[in-house]
């Protein structure tokens, strides 16, 4: 084990620990400024006055920020066909035409990076999502904690399966320089079903 492993593992510690230690959460302790109550009240009044003057003089910074950030482009491009998505992403993707309960597909791509196919039911709810992206990083985007996590080897490829009880909610693997993921969070699949699906995605 290297120190890098510990640094990486630290990254996923409990949210509560991260929040409590966040910068600015703890007021600076400087005992020289601990004075009598009257002086403290006076200081508070001064701070409040400065706050009021500042707010009156300055336009809302958050609104300014919001305006600036709204210009940020959405990297996902909606595509009408898989072929169009392949052209945008710069690689091919093979997926099943439909899955159980799906009535339509939503296809999105990120230029030279990623394709995702979302299988939806009649009401537009996601049943299944399949992703393929360049590189080897986990592309599932799923940061949930599951009760079970196993790694299954199929044709020399390690497939990580995560889920609760006896079902699988997410599968991810890498092959030939691409990262793949199948998400079935709302409609988890049996392990056998998920592995059958994995074989169909290329």
Binding residues for another protein (CB under 8 A): 1, 4-15, 17-24, 26, 28-31, 37, 41, 62, 65-66, 69-70, 72, 74-76, 110, 114, 126, 129, 131, 136-144, 149, 151, 158-160, 170, 172-174, 183, 185
Residue nearer to another protein on the CB measure, 15 or 166? 15
Q: How far is the CB of 111 from another protein (least distance, A)?
A: 11
What is the chain's percent helix, strand, coil content, to nearest 5?
30, 30, 40
Q: How far is the CB of 179 from another protein (least distance, A)?
A: 8
Bridge partners (DSSP) of residue 126 are 120
Residue nearer to another protein on the CB measure, 76 or 87? 76
Q: How far is the CB of 67 from another protein (least distance, A)?
A: 9
Q: If we measure between CA atoms, which residue out of 175, 179, 178, 172 comes closest to residue 194?
A: 172
Q: In the chain, how long is the greatest CA-to-CA distance? A: 76
Instruction: Quote the CA–CA distance of 139 and 194 in Å, as a whole number.
Output: 17
Residue nearer to another protein on the CB measure, 144 or 196? 144
Q: If we measure between CA atoms, which residue out of 84, 143, 83, 79 comes closest to residue 108?
A: 79
Contact 94, 202 (CB under 8 A): yes
Residue nearer to another protein on the CB measure, 23 or 59? 23
HSE, side-chain direction, 13 A CA sphere, residue 183: 19
Residue nearer to another protein on the CB measure, 62 or 165? 62
Contact 179, 137 (CB under 8 A): yes
Q: How far is the CB of 37 from another protein (least distance, A)?
A: 7
Q: How far is the CB of 119 from another protein (least distance, A)?
A: 13
């Amino acid at each position: 084990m290297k120190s890098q492993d510990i640094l990486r593992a630290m990254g996923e510690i409990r949210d509560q620990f991260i929040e409590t230690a966040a910068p600015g959460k703890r007021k600076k302790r400087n005992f020289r400024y601990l004075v009598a109550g009257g002086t403290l009240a006076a200081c508070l009044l001064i701070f409040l006055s400065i706050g009021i003057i500042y707010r009156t003089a300055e336009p809302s910074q958050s609104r300014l920020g919001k305006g600036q950030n709204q210009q940020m482009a959405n990297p996902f491009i909606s595509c009408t066909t898989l072929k169009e998505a392949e052209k945008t992403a710069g690689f091919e993707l093979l997926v099943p035409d439909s899955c159980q309960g799906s009535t339509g597909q939503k296809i999105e791509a990120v230029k030279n990076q990623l394709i995702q196919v979302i299988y939806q039911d009649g009401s537009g709810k996601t049943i299944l999502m399949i992703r393929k992206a360049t590189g080897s990083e986990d592309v599932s985007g799923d940061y949930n904690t599951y009760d079970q996590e196993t790694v299954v080897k199929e044709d020399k490829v390690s497939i990580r399966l995560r889920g609760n009880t006896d079902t699988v909610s997410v599968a991810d693997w890498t092959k030939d320089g691409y990262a793949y993921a199948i998400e079935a969070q709302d409609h988890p699949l049996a392990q056998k079903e998920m592995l059958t699906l994995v074989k169909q995605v290329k």
